[in-house]
Amino acid sequence: MSTKFDVLGIGNAIVDIISRVDDDFLIRENILKGGMTLIDEERAAHLLALAPQPVMMSGGSAANTIAGLAGFKARTAYIGKVRDDVLGADFARDIHDQGVAYHTERATEGAATARCFVMVTPDGQRSMCTYLGACQNLSEADVNDKDVAAAGIIYLEGYLWDPPAAKEAFVKASRLAHAHQRRVALSLSDAFCVERYRGEFLNLMRTGLVDIVFANDAEVKSLFQTDNLAEALAALRKERCLTIVTHGAAGSHVIAADEITSVPASAVEQVIDTTGAGDLYAAGFMLGLAQGRDHATCARLGGAAAAAIIQQIGARLPTTMREQALA
């Protein structure tokens, strides 16, 4: 069945505000280094006023992946909720500029557009403060049935499993996709997300509501409640999903029922900013899937995209780096 889009992403629509800071800034502002802290709207306004030389772009995990795919010339679409405010307009404009089809209606009331302050220290470590705002109000009504039916892969971020209305949108999109013989991919997002919804995520896999799962080693160990990665990988072989597990500099594994394919990481000269590494890995991997590549090639493309993104600031690859990643 022909498709209009290679991949459609559904996720938390967040404006990323990226700044280079030193450790003293983190200490002064009581920001947990290397962590992600949820903040309220007042704290978000305070940090925006202080952010040194901020670089703003459409963000959120799934949006980063979809923008990455668009940069690799894939046909993409995105569903995510913003408010009809300045940052909401910035989000829409930026994601359109990436070449992504985006039609989600902006909220006219309620919380402001979500934003994530990404503070990058000289060692390449990122520390994040996130105000979720309007993105949590995504609902079934925002799921564009026509676009879902027209996409080869529907890509969902695990953070969507937090707000009840967004969870319903998630399930609706998955069922609609399968009704049209499309594949559904899920990113587990982070180990804390897995801890909150371990049973529900396993149920999504075992009932066939998702077909492809992206995770890192910490997330997959949390999923199976083990400290032993080999045990977690063995458990994944018993599940019905195609699962991709990333390990940073150690490369990645692709787990299917009949095999585990291991692929080494791509070479990296210097780590500048780890923002978006997992998101771009998923972009490269799904690009391979859309092109009908084998699992090893998909993993190589994912690793190359991840390696390229961590050697610069932010989760958007310049044209030259896109070409190098796909070489």
pLDDT tens by residue, the chain, 327 residues: 578 999 999 999 999 998 999 999 999 999 999 888 899 999 999 998 998 889 888 889 999 999 999 999 999 999 999 999 999 999 999 999 999 999 999 999 999 999 999 898 888 788 989 999 999 999 999 998 999 999 999 999 998 898 899 999 999 999 999 999 999 999 998 888 999 999 999 999 999 999 999 999 999 999 999 999 999 999 999 998 999 999 988 999 999 877 889 999 888 888 877 778 899 999 999 999 999 999 999 999 999 999 988 888 667 776 655 666 665
**CA separation for the pair 204, 181 (Å, rounded):** 17
Q: pTM of the prediction?
A: 0.90
Q: What angle (nearest 5°) sits at the alpha carbon of residue 209, between those of residues 297 and 298?
A: 5
Provide the 8-state DSSP code for 267.
P
Other Cβ atoms less than 10 A from the Cβ of 135: the count is: 29
**CA separation for the pair 179, 248 (Å, rounded):** 35
Q: How far is CA 257 from CA 146, 154, 181, 238, 290, in A?
A: 32, 22, 21, 6, 21
Other Cβ atoms less than 10 A from the Cβ of 39: the count is: 19
Q: Is 207 helix (H, G, I), strand (E, B) or coil?
A: coil
- Domain 5-12+60-81+96-106+135-326: give its CATH code: 3.40.1190.20
Q: Which residue has the tokens 């202080």?
A: 50
- Residue 251 phi/psi, 5-degree rounding, is 95, -150
- How confident is the model at residue 166, as a pLDDT? 92
Among 295, 293, 277, CA closest to 68: 277
Q: How far is CA 162 from CA 156, 170, 222, 253, 275, in A?
A: 13, 11, 17, 27, 22
- How confident is the model at residue 120, as a pLDDT? 87
β-sheet with 151-157: strand ranges across: 101-102, 76-79, 5-10, 151-157, 183-187, 212-216, 242-246, 252-256, 259-263
**CA separation for the pair 243, 99 (Å, rounded):** 28
Q: Which residue has the tokens 């993105």?
A: 135
